[in-house]
Amino acid sequence: MPVSIANARAAGRLRANVARRGAFPGLGGSGLMPSRPWSWLFGDMELPTPAPATEYTAMGYPPFGRGVALLASAIATTRWVAERWDPALGVHVALPDQPSVITDPYPDVTPWAYRWAAVEDGILYGNHFALYGEMDWRTKRPGWLLPLPADAVWIMQDPTSGNWTWLVGGEEIPRGDMFHIPFGNRSGEILGRGVLWQYAEWLGSALAAEEYSGTYFAGGTLPPAVLQSPELLTDDQALDLKTKWREMTNNREPVVMPTGYTLTPVVSNAEQAQLVETRRWSAEMVGMMLGIPSWKLGLPGPTMTYQNVETADIDFVRDGVDRYSSPIAAAFSKWLMPGGTQVRFDWTSRQRADATTTANTLTAYVSQGILTVDEARAVLGRPPADAATEENTTPEDVPELTPASTTVEG
């Protein structure tokens, strides 16, 4: 369908307007966190100890950062399609011409990057926000999106009428202009709850334990001690003595005590302190929090053979990855697709059993008439048998080339 110059100019203005409205500076606080960003107004200046985790500190914790990357990568690298129910075939069939919001949801980045960022928004903050771009004439729905920082979107509600609107960077955004994916919220609530909302305090404790264990091992796991002097020391002398003791223990240098001084170590070591076990337990809790098997985070787990590794990967997709892929697919289906069309992530390649089991299963299905040969080939990503044969066969109407004869006249 041709686009007129007037329509093109209008689309350009709309794109620029959407981009302008999305160019908001990030806010220091977040309406999605359980903290009180205005607590200083009420004189509440005391912070809990240890402090709740933030996005920066949580992502810097290796098990957590790696777990988020595993989930985001699994969804970003998986093919998604828009499909429609075919009553004649009795199955959903992928549209031959995929909507632009599926093939290129945000023109400034790749589809992979858009999906990765949306998953991170869902994990950390429980919400993904974007402004709608211009219309796709094929679907009569928005053809692209402009994502917004998840921690920069707030809700402003009228206490009298109860009506609410979005607030970004001090500007009100009408509800109809905002694409919102809540990754799990209670009935009657608008915003979803991310990991930082649910587990910020626990993560803060885990990070505090990690920091303590780091300083413990940095000191060579040398225990604290009681230094006794034969004479009365001033505060400055005692402080100087403690400073020298810390320097020697951190450098693991031999300790030479002056005559009359007594060193009494406090019984403690890395094994008794169980720091290693504590760190491992915290990492396992992070895996449980994110829905990731412990062995994917490099932690000890059951003995994995080739067969049960694939089974565990299927469980990972079903019990962990689907927690964040389903809200994305459902929101795209409801708000960005025409009626009767749905968006689905194709997990066939990740949920396939080993080659032998897959071959035996497909053979049984074909022999029982459950699948045709071409349908079984499609499961393996192969073209129909006739098409594959045609590609490997030389057409009959192509004449064979024979070397030309040369006659030499003498």
pLDDT at 119: 97
**Domain ranges within the chain, ordered by starting residue:** 222-268, 353-393
Check: CB of residue 306 under 8 Å from CB of residue 353. no
pLDDT under 70: residue ranges of the chain: 1-49, 212-225, 248-258, 263-276, 301-310, 349-354, 381, 387-410
Sign of the C-alpha dihedral, residues 162, 165, 171, 174? negative
Q: Which two tokens stand for residue 35?
A: 């903290």
Q: What is the reported pLDDT for 210?
A: 74
Which one, of 300, 31, 61, lies nearest residue 203 by Cα? 61
* Residue 356 vs residues 214, 317, 347, 359, 371: alpha-carbon distances, Å: 47, 21, 19, 5, 18
Q: Quick one: which of 293, 328, 296, 285 has its CA closest to 120?
A: 328
So what's the pLDDT on residue 33?
Answer: 45
pTM value is: 0.69
Q: Are 172 and 143 in contact (CB under 8 A)?
A: no
